[in-house]
Chain A
Amino acid sequence: MNYGMSDYVVRTMADGTAISTNGVETKSASYLISANSVVVGDILEMFARMNRSAGAVTFTATIYINTSDTLAGASLLATYTTDATSRSSSDLGRFFVVKSSTITQGLNNTQSTNSRYIVPTGAFTETNIDWTVDQYVIIALTNNGAGQTVLAKGMLILKY
């Protein structure tokens, strides 16, 4: 239901798969957005949460979207590399504006930041996402060193 208010498109706090390999981007969790849950004119606010359960090196979180639950062929939405080895957890937030049936606009997708509000380097990224079909939002994680385990801790996507 949406009475002109925010609605949850995704709200899952289940842990994802723990990733212990080094230097390999690997899917930790994925979340289905059912066809037609998002339409032109919507604004989405996304929060992804990641945690390092062991180790002491930086990690990179990347958020993708795809029509199948796989990284192959997925479109990059956002990325963040922790800026210090002391960062054992991280939230990553973004806004997306569904401008048209072929343009979903967000912060530059290669900008490494966890913040929804930042002055980026580069233009807004306009991704062609067909919201009339099922879409999977995927959290992929990369350990930037050996001896570490990271995992997704949940995803919240609000629709306005």
Chain B
Amino acid sequence: MANLIKITTDGTPLAATTLTITTSGLIPANSLAPGDIFELVTTVKKTVATSILNTYIYVNTSNSLIGATQIGVYGGIAGTPYGYIIGRNYVIKSPTSTIGFTSGNLTVIPDTVLAAAYGNFNINWAVDQYIIIAISHSSGASNNSYSTSLLVLKR
């Protein structure tokens, strides 16, 4: 196993309600190739109980949400869960096929039983790719949500 990304510093807090990058990490070109399996674990937290915190996982060739591919999501929960840990596993089947849970599958658990087929993502691992954790929440400026860690392991 190798750590492709390990971030343990807090991400950028989100004060508005707009979808915003909280943290991201670079996977350099050719760090992953067909036949590889990688695991992603991220922790996110919020500070206001009534806020609904949504977390999105993206991949992009630039550190931006513009043109990014969504590869995971969790959210929709209000109340006292002030944070959660999301796990995902991805299998690189070919240069144009990386499979994992569907991009819209709402779960924190990486080893659950899906109600749908796997998501099939066309990600070119021969070039630099950024793993991006972006969040949105339902509360306004008094609320701060952010990631507290991001780990990507090559298995």
Which chain B positions have C-beta within 8 A of A95? Answer: 41, 43, 85
Is A123's CB within 8 Å of the partner chain B? Answer: yes
Please give 13 more A-B residue pairs, beta carbons under 8 A apart, in addition to A117-B87, A119-B84. A6-B1, A6-B153, A41-B8, A43-B6, A105-B148, A116-B85, A117-B84, A117-B108, A118-B108, A118-B109, A119-B77, A119-B108, A120-B82
Which chain B positions have C-beta within 8 A of A40? Answer: 8
Q: Are B43 and A105 in contact (CB-based, < 8 A)?
A: yes
Alpha-carbon gap, A18 to B83, bound state (A): 36
Interface residue total, chain B, C-beta cutoff 8 A: 26
Alpha-carbon gap, A123 to B153, bound state (A): 26
* A123-B8 in contact given A6-B1, A116-B87, A117-B87 (Cβ < 8 Å): no
Q: How many interface contacts (CB-CB < 8 Å) are there between A and B? A: 73
One of B77, B82, B108 near A122 (C-beta < 8 A): B82
28 contacts between A and B (CB under 8 A): A4-B2, A4-B3, A5-B2, A6-B1, A6-B153, A41-B8, A43-B151, A95-B43, A99-B10, A105-B43, A107-B85, A115-B109, A116-B85, A117-B85, A117-B87, A118-B84, A118-B108, A119-B81, A120-B82, A120-B84, A121-B80, A121-B81, A123-B45, A123-B82, A123-B83, A124-B148, A160-B3, A160-B6
Q: Mark A83-112, 1 if CB is under 8 A from B, else 0.
A: 000000000000101110000010100000
Residues of chain A touching chain B, judged by Cβ–Cβ distance below 8 Å, are 3-6, 40-43, 95, 97-99, 105, 107, 115-124, 160
Alpha-carbon gap, A118 to B43, bound state (A): 11
Residues of chain B touching chain A, judged by Cβ–Cβ distance below 8 Å, are 1-3, 6, 8-10, 41, 43, 45, 77, 80-87, 108-110, 148-149, 151, 153
- Name the CB-closest residue of A to B111: A117
Which chain A positions have C-beta within 8 A of B9? Answer: 99
Q: Are B83 and A124 in contact (CB-based, < 8 A)?
A: yes
A42, A117, A122, most chain B CB atoms within 10 A? A117
Alpha-carbon gap, A122 to B46, bound state (A): 11
Which chain B positions have C-beta within 8 A of A107? Answer: 85
- Name the CB-closest residue of B to A42: B8
